[in-house]
Amino acid sequence: MTEYFNEMFDGGKVRQPYGGLDGWMRDMPAELRAMKQAEAEALFRRIGITFAVYGEGGDPDRLIPFDMFPRVFTQTEWRKLERGIKQRARALNAFLLDVYGRGEIVRAGRIPARLVYQNEAYERAVSGFIPPRGIYSHIVGIDLVRTGPDQFYVLEDNCRTPSGVSYMLENREIMMRMFPQLFRENRIEPVDGYPDALRRTLASVAPAKCDREPTIAILTPGHFNSAYYEHSFLADLMGVELVEGADLFCEGGFCWMRTTEGPKKLDVIYRRIDDAFIDPLCFRPDSMLGVPGLMDVYRSGGVTICSAPGAGVADDKAIYTFVPEMVRFYLGEEPLLENVPTWQCAKPDDLKYVLDHLPELVVKEVHGSGGYGMLVGPKATKEQIETFRIKIKENPVNYIAQPTLALSTTPTFVEEGVAPRHVDLRPYCLVGEKVELVPGGLTRVALTEGSLVVNSSQGGGVKDTWVLAE
């Protein structure tokens, strides 16, 4: 039987970070726990935090389950993660600037050209373009898993539009409202500075043509999008406009926002729509979500788009295997955070190993996300494994495989009481004039016993993430 690292208990003893929660957990009667859980769900429902699950019948909006038991890191643990995350975010941005420019890392033979230039996320429309401050990915979500007291691995990088930060903020707000005594008894680093930090980051990459305080807006696909709550939530907290494509137009080398007082020049767009829909004149001509002519304005320095079109090539799962090499190549440093060992099915030797060991491995589509398009070998049926075997043989380039990691567990409130459940972590690193992240992140929890899939689209939940102050 696999041994999993329990972040709270070590040989029956409570680990130091969780010392302030042991009594709270033991003293809470089942009735109070049930009442508080119902209260949390009512708060989430009242403020509208729902998550659309596409393909479900009826009302597509549902609550992501919230677990009241926080996950805790010491200041020492967090500092180690913070250094590694910042290092990785800098390397990923250096890679993006390079591959849309001279492509030195490809010329040096460190990354195969086909993985970059034949990648569907590589946007030729921005080749040769240098965005303000040379930054392509302004919000980098790094998904981390833990396997031991000092063992952390990067599961994947999210360089386009990583979602979930609204849960990081609202989880904390609800915990403080429901359990104020916990925050009086434990010194916990705040996360509520994120919206101000995000606004500072966006303002710091205003285009050269901006000669005043930058005007910023969030571009959303609209209220049918699964993350629409987050778009409106962040716009409100930052004090910026939430706009749809129809609210904007391009003229005279600038992007303008329609307002009741007439057109207003827009300098920075935090876009929450995919590359393909940004500009129907440049990408998909049938897009009703974007702004005709926006890419011309962007390339001429009239507006900044965050994150930049084309940033997605850096978070492709086939590119992921080369991020440690990026750190060495661009920064001249050794990676502080390790990748999960990965087999690329495009390589004949790797493919043979993967096909021979499918029941032991996790197999993912290189462009997949949200827990879709993947096989968790140890949890799969023989039929599922054989179906995946056929898919991999038909298109090996489309798949990578990784060992089934023994993800750490944290205490989680379940119907029977408290039980360990597997978790991951997504901190949000902001890259602008400086690189910064708030002390915390989104902890996702696999609520089904034994499950290793934490994605909300696959039934996972969320919990507050604490970093203890010194």
Do residues 243 and 257 lie in contact, with contact meaning Cβ atoms separated by under 8 Å?
A: yes
Q: Determine the Cα–Cα distance for residues 327 and 329; give it in Å rounded to an integer.
A: 6
On the CB side of 401, CA atoms within 13 Å amount to: 27
Last residue of a domain, one of 371, 403, 435: 403
Helix axes 165-178, 228-238, angle to 10 degrees: 70
| pLDDT for res 406 | 87
287 backbone dihedrals φ, ψ, rounded to 5°: -70, 130
Which residues touch 66 (CB under 8 Å, ≥6 apart)?
Answer: 37, 40, 41, 44, 171, 174, 461, 462, 463
Whether residue 83 lies inside any domain: the answer is: yes
Do residues 294 and 255 lie in contact, with contact meaning Cβ atoms separated by under 8 Å?
A: yes
Do residues 264 and 255 lie in contact, with contact meaning Cβ atoms separated by under 8 Å?
A: no
Q: How confident is the model at residue 451 (pLDDT cuts 50, 70, 90)?
A: confident
User: Of the segments 54-63, 265-274, 443-452, which one has the largest average pLDDT value?
Assistant: 265-274
Q: Determine the Cα–Cα distance for residues 353 and 312; give it in Å rounded to an integer.
A: 28
Last residue of a domain, one of 362, 380, 403: 403
Helix axes 194-204, 228-238, angle to 10 degrees: 80
Last residue of a domain, one of 351, 379, 403: 403
Dump pLDDT digits (tens) for 80-109: 999 999 999 999 999 999 999 999 999 999
Which residues touch 50 (CB under 8 Å, ≥6 apart)?
Answer: 44, 61, 62, 63, 64, 229
- Averaged pLDDT, 32-51: 83
CATH code, domain carrying 347: 3.30.1490.270
Do residues 399 and 392 lie in contact, with contact meaning Cβ atoms separated by under 8 Å?
A: yes
Q: Are residues 200 and 161 in the same domain?
A: yes
Q: How many domains, the chain?
A: 2
CA-CA distances (angstroms) from residue 31 to 26, 37, 38, 66, 330?
13, 10, 11, 17, 55
Residues 66, 71, 75, 78: is their CA dihedral positive or negative?
negative
Q: Determine the Cα–Cα distance for residues 125 and 139; give it in Å rounded to an integer.
A: 21
Comparing CA positions, the residue from 222, 223, 265, 259 lying closest to residue 244 is: 222
Q: Are residues 17 and 31 in the same domain?
A: yes
Whether residue 218 lies inside any domain: the answer is: no
Decide which of 340 and 455 is more confident: 340
Q: Are residues 26 and 97 in the same domain?
A: yes
Domain that holds residue 195: 9-207+303-339+405-467
Dump pLDDT digits (tens) for 122-176: 999 999 999 999 999 999 999 999 999 999 999 999 999 899 999 999 999 999 9
Do residues 276 and 282 lie in contact, with contact meaning Cβ atoms separated by under 8 Å?
A: no
Q: Are residues 461 and 376 in the same domain?
A: no
| pLDDT for res 457 | 65
Which residues touch 23 (CB under 8 Å, ≥6 apart)?
Answer: none
